[in-house]
Amino acid sequence: MIKAGIIGSTGYAGEELVRLLLGHKNTEIVWYGSRSYIDKKYADVYQNMFELVDAKCMDDNMQELAEKADVIFTATPQGLCASLVNEEIISKTKIIDLSADFRIKDVKTYEEWYKIEHKSPEFIQEAVYGLCEINREDIKKARLVANPGCYTTCSILTCYPLVKEGLINPDTIIVDAKSGTSGAGRGAKIDNLFCEVNENIKAYGVATHRHTPEIEEQLGYAAGREIRINFTPHLVPMNRGILVTAYASLAKDVSYEEVKAVYDAYYGKEKFIRVLEKDVCPQTKWVEGSNYVDVNFKIDPRTGRIIMMGALDNLVKGAAGQAVQNMNLMFQEKESEGLELVPMFP
Catalytic residue, chosen from 81, 132, 150, 154, is: 150
Is the bond into 346 cis (omega within 30 degrees of 0)? Answer: yes
- H or E segment to which residue 267 belongs: helix 256-267
- The question of whether 150 is a catalytic residue gets the answer yes
Q: Bridge partners of 7?
A: 33, 74
Angle between helical axes of 321-330 and 132-140 (0-180°, round to 10): 40
Instruction: Please report the beta strands in 101-191, taking only residues with DSSP state E, as ranges in sequence order.
Output: 128-129, 144-146, 174-179
Is residue 21 within 8 Å of 4, Cβ to Cβ? yes
Q: Bridge partners of 29?
A: 4
Q: Provide the CA 128 distance to its chain's centre, in angstroms.
A: 14
Buried-state track 162-190, b at ≥16 Cβ within 10 A, e below 16: bbbbebbebebbebbbbbbbbbbeeeeee
Is residue 35 within 8 Å of 26, Cβ to Cβ? no
6: CB partners within 8 A, 6+ apart: 14, 17, 18, 21, 29, 31, 32, 33, 72, 73, 75
Q: Bridge partners of 58?
A: 33
Q: Which amino acid is at 278?
A: K
Q: Which residues have a catalytic role annotated? A: 150
